[in-house]
Amino acid sequence: MREWSVPQGEASLVIGASGSGKSTLIGIVAGLVSPTAGRVGVAGEEITAMGALARDAFRAANIGLVPQTLHLIGVVSVRDNLRIAQRLAGRVVDDHAIDAVLGSLGIEALAGNKARDLSVGEAQRVAIARAVVNRPRLVLADEPTSALDDANCDKALALLLGQASACAATLVIATHDRRIRSHFTRTLEL
């Protein structure tokens, strides 16, 4: 059986053509999709052995996800999107933590804006903020740069790497975007 691991705190790229299974793998590692075979461990816990409720709780507390389609809640503010992420992780709402992460991404002025009014680049920063606001052990990002021009591609990558390293999280990026390959020494080719 093929084995793959990323040491805690390191960054890795999962690269492959469209349809090669990158999003499926991200879904399995996030505990959103059950594999038909094999096992997945995250931060020392085997999530593929957990029941659905335990897996949901584990994901909320330990994994930050930046999905390909961002899934922000459009009708509420940026701040409320992050507060909801805190509540779902079983934490009390902590506006100081929210202000700190928005500030580190340069979007503190957007806290009161409704998510549906954001530009694509702003929305992506908010999705990154939501992924790291609970200081997860693992950050998963699915095609975070594929829709971006070169300048914004570099920015998004720098933000993801910076935010993951600020919380000592492991970072796994799934992509078919070969522009970012040179930034990673660890890659899994599907």
Binding stretches for Mg ion (CB under 5 A): 22-23
Q: Which does 146 bind (CB under 5 to 8 A by kind): Mg ion, ligand ADP, none?
A: none
Neighbouring-strand partners of residue 66:
141
- Please tell me the distance from the alpha carbon of residue 61 to that of residue 90, in angstroms, as a whole number: 7
Question: How far lies 186's CA from each of 19, 23, 115, 146, 160, in Å?
Answer: 21, 18, 34, 19, 16
- Please tell me the distance from the alpha carbon of residue 88 to that of residue 118, in angstroms, as a whole number: 23
Choose, by CB under 6 A, the member of 11, 13, 15, 22 that binds ligand ADP. Answer: 22
Q: Which does 106 bind (CB under 5 to 8 A by kind): ligand ADP, Mg ion, none?
A: none
- Residue 24 as a binder of ligand ADP (CB under 6 A): the answer is yes
- Is the Cβ of residue 15 or residue 60 nearer to ligand ADP in the bound state? 15
- Is the Cβ of residue 37 or residue 75 nearer to ligand ADP in the bound state? 37
Choose, by CB under 6 A, the member of 5, 8, 19, 116 that binds ligand ADP. Answer: 19
- Is the Cβ of residue 19 or residue 106 nearer to ligand ADP in the bound state? 19
Q: Which does 16 bind (CB under 5 to 8 A by kind): ligand ADP, Mg ion, none?
A: ligand ADP
User: How many residues sit in the footprint of ligand ADP (CB under 6 A)?
Assistant: 8
- Residue 74 as a binder of ligand ADP (CB under 6 A): the answer is no
Q: Minimum distance between the CB of residue 190 and ligand ADP, rounded to whole angstroms?
A: 7
Q: Minimum distance between the CB of residue 18 and Mg ion, rounded to whole angstroms?
A: 7
- Residue 23 as a binder of ligand ADP (CB under 6 A): the answer is yes
Residues that bind ligand ADP (CB under 6 A): 16, 18-24
